[in-house]
Amino acid sequence: MADKSSNPLSDPKRRKAQTMLVHGGMERSQHGETSEAIFFNSGFVYPTSGAAEARFKGEEPGHIYSRFSNPTVEMFQQRAALLEGAEAARGTATGMAAVTTAIMSQVKAGDHIVAARALFGGCRFVVETYMPRWGVESTLVDGRDPENFARAMKPNTKVVFVETPTNPTLELVDLKAVADIAHAHGAVLIVDNVFSTPIWQKPLELGADLVTYSATKHMDGQGRALGGVILGSQELIGGDVHTIIRQTGPSMSPFNAWVLLKGLETLSIRVKAMTESAGKIADFLADHPKIEMLSYPHHASHPQYDLAKRQMSGGSTLVAFTPKGGKAAAFRLADALALIAISNNLGDAKSIISHPATTTHQRFTDAERAEMDITEGLLRLSVGLEDADDLLADLSFALDQV
Ligand SMILES: *Cc1c(COP(=O)(O)O)cnc(C)c1O
């Protein structure tokens, strides 16, 4: 009789990444549905009072309340953990909930955080403005040189937080070097891995302790749902991270978990296609006479090209560049695009261009923007799934108008 229990592919961990993205975490109900089911319920019932007691005591497995666990959210968490190579994961309502929860899980009043200063706006607000309100001080450093982290470490430093490539200039942080510095001082390294995606960069393998994503970006990648996820060891995720989610409620909606599960099925295919187009666009811009600056991790002109090749197995779906002529040129270029939309999301199937100095990074002072290399002419392009030739033609036309 056929028996699949001895089939190596019965073990989810022996499946290749793309297979895990389609099947990982799948748990079918008694109805045998093909697609993952949406368990769109807040609570769960127990057969007896004794069963309820046992579940609350943790003596029997099972769900209690969707603020802390839900079957659809769990399928999403398991699939994300398999992709990342993490022991455990927790979904959150947004990417910012993931970052805030991850940081809060590791600090208390009197502790200190070291972070790279080039961060997504919300992340920088949490580290620089919000945490100090609760007695957790922070030091922001130029993340391009690991020595800057070493110099900023204090006896009470509990967290090092970075994002790489950074938003919006695509500078890199050497994750392995920074992980070693954090660990030598007894701190944990938390990495916001949105810009490289789990397809091109595996921070846990390079020494990170917790990895966060805004699942709103590439994981959904179709502009539909907000979400976030935190990944790491069972000890960190099942411990303080789980407790904060359970007790404070930044939880992921089962519906969003379902949208994101379907997003994960095609994540790798989408990210690869978008990266291929981004590479072509970087080559085109690098040679264009009206371009003053290009930043693309896998383009030989990137100042940290060697690190990019070592740390990331693919370029990026984002390209940062500056046309000659400052803000006026950047606005003229963006306004002449017919296909690429002016918006501030990223990782979407639809290509998006943004002008960070007047939108996402508007609230910073000129000096702060200068420190982050966010010039008046800088544009950030999130490359989508359109035909690359159409994207190149759109950019070429717009550059002619500058
Ligand atoms: C978008 C983003 C976030 C925040 O995610 P939300 O889902 O919008 O809350 C955090 N970090 C990075 C790098 C991002 O791009």
- pLDDT at position 184 is 98
User: Residue 370 in 3-state DSSP?
Assistant: helix
Q: How far is CA 66 from CA 39, 99, 204, 290, in A?
A: 10, 21, 28, 53
User: Which residue is it, tokens 């069972």?
Assistant: 234
- pLDDT at position 329 is 98
Ligand 1 binding pocket includes 217 (Cβ within 6 Å):
yes
Q: How far is CA 174 from CA 142, 211, 216, 231, 309, in A?
A: 12, 15, 25, 20, 11
164 Cα–ligand 1 center, Å: 13
Structure tokens at 293: 């600056």
What does the alpha-carbon distance between residue 141 and residue 145 come to, in Å, rounded to a whole number?
A: 9
Q: Give the start-end residues of each E strand in 42-155.
A: 88-92, 112-116, 137-141
Ligand 1 binding pocket includes 123 (Cβ within 6 Å):
yes
Judge contact between 209 and 189, C-beta under 8 A. Answer: yes
Sheet holding 188-192, edge to edge: 88-92, 228-232, 210-214, 188-192, 157-163, 112-116, 137-141
Per-residue DSSP letter, 157: E
Beta bridge partners of 231: 89, 211
98 Cα–ligand 1 center, Å: 9
* Burial of 252 per CB tally in 10 Å (0-12, 13-18, 19+): buried
* Residue whose CB lies within 8 A of the most ligand 1 atoms, among 94, 119, 120, 212, for a mutation test: 120
Give the Cβ contact number of residue 87 at 10 Å: 15
Residues in CB range of 274: below 8 A, 6 or more apart: 317, 347, 383, 384, 385
Instruction: Catalogue all structural domains in the chain, each as residue range(s) with its CATH number.
Output: 10-39+70-265 (3.40.640.10), 267-400 (3.90.1150.10)
What does the alpha-carbon distance between residue 64 and residue 70 come to, in Å, rounded to a whole number?
A: 8
Strand 318-323 to strand 341-342: parallel, antiparallel, or no bridges (unpaired)?
unpaired
- Which helix H or strand E contains 15, and what residues bound it? none
What does the alpha-carbon distance between residue 396 and residue 402 come to, in Å, rounded to a whole number?
A: 10
What does the alpha-carbon distance between residue 171 and residue 256 come to, in Å, rounded to a whole number?
A: 31
What does the alpha-carbon distance between residue 161 and residue 288 come to, in Å, rounded to a whole number?
A: 36
96 Cα–ligand 1 center, Å: 6
Transcribe 260-323 into DSSP letters: HHHHHHHHHHHHHHHHHHHHHHHHHHHT-TTEEEEE-TTSTTSTTHHHHHHH-SS--SEEEEEE
Ligand 1 binding pocket includes 122 (Cβ within 6 Å):
yes
For residues 307, 14, 209, 345, the Cα torsion angle rounded to the nearest 10 degrees is: 70
Judge contact between 132 and 275, C-beta under 8 A. Answer: no
Q: What is the pTM of this model?
A: 0.96
CA 130 to the chain's CA centroid: 21
Helix axis angle, 326-335 relative to 388-400, nearest 10°?
130
Strand 210-214 to strand 188-192: parallel, antiparallel, or no bridges (unpaired)?
parallel
223 Cα–ligand 1 center, Å: 13
Q: Which residues of 279-288 are buried (b: 16+ CB within 10 A; e: fewer)?
A: bbbbebbeeb
Residues in CB range of 349: below 8 A, 6 or more apart: 221, 222, 223, 270, 384, 385
Ligand 1 binding pocket includes 167 (Cβ within 6 Å):
yes
Ligand 1 binding pocket includes 95 (Cβ within 6 Å):
yes
158 Cα–ligand 1 center, Å: 23
Per-residue DSSP letter, 134: T
172 Cα–ligand 1 center, Å: 17
- pLDDT at position 1 is 59
**pLDDT tens track, the chain, 402 positions:** 578 889 999 888 889 999 999 999 999 999 999 999 999 999 999 999 999 999 999 999 999 999 999 999 999 999 999 999 999 999 999 999 999 999 999 999 999 999 999 999 899 999 999 999 999 999 999 999 999 999 999 999 999 999 999 999 999 999 999 999 999 999 999 999 999 999 999 999 999 999 999 999 999 999 999 999 999 999 999 999 999 999 999 999 999 999 999 999 999 999 999 999 999 999 999 999 999 999 999 999 999 999 999 999 999 999 999 999 999 999 999 999 999 999 999 999 999 999 999 999 999 999 999 988 999 999 999 999 999 999 999 999 999 999
Beta bridge partners of 380: 320, 354
Closest residue (by CA) to atom 5 of ligand 1?
Answer: 95
Structure tokens at 259: 């949208």
Structure tokens at 84: 């990342």
Closest residue (by CA) to atom 7 of ligand 1?
Answer: 95
How long a stretch of residues is the chain? 402
